[in-house]
Amino acid sequence: MPDSISGETAVQPTLVLASTSTYRRALLERLRLPFTVRSPQTDETPQPGEAPRDLALRLAMAKAQAVAADMPGTWVIGSDQVCACDGHILGKPGNHAAAVSQLRLLRGRTSLFHTALALITPDGRMQRREVPTTVRMRELSDARIENYLRAEQPYDCAGSAKSEGLGIALLETISSDDPTALVGLPLIALCDLLLAGGYPLLGQAA
């Protein structure tokens, strides 16, 4: 598959997504920029007492730094997302039982998704941004939770619901300044960072 969405193959892609997430890759493709993907291989274990926002930012930066160390002179994007509800930090459930527990906790409640973004420029400068998204979930019966999970199996999504898919039926409201933040990569914020760093987005000069 060519790295360029236009069909032109970039000889040496300089934009790198430090993530193997298919969701983030699909979102980045919307910008029609040539990019490649690398796995960051980072430890995502929260530190004792670490706030959800701080955790998301630290992991986004760690992912970008891990890939930038192996690919100097490139533009590297790192991103991470943490869901917080009533003092609980929710990551990817990983399996059905954990997803059931997450949705039972979230039903009828308001949660805050912290989506963090880090960009390392070719000269090694780091920019970062955190985009919060407030989500209120409907009151859901156990049967509806089971029906949803069996249908969509969102076990790789923090909060156990795909808002871009059937999971939207679980939600009452979504509030954010960046419509793609909840899916995993805030594109408005990313464009801000790319432009601030001098990336020729839409052919604009640095």
Active-site positions read 80
Question: Two tokens at 72?
Answer: 């100097």
CB neighbour list of residue 29: distance below 8 Å, 6 or more residues apart? 5
Q: Where are the alpha helices (DSSP H) in the chain?
A: 22-29, 52-70, 96-106, 142-152, 187-197
3-state secondary structure of 206: coil
Question: Two tokens at 76?
Answer: 């590297």
How far apart are the C-alpha atoms of 56 and 51, rounded to whole Å?
Answer: 9
How far apart are the C-alpha atoms of 66 and 62, rounded to whole Å?
Answer: 6
Q: Contact 19/13 with Cβ under 8 angstroms?
A: no
3-state secondary structure of 22: helix
| Neighbouring C-alpha atoms within 13 Å toward the C-beta of 11 | 0
Question: Two tokens at 8?
Answer: 């032109």
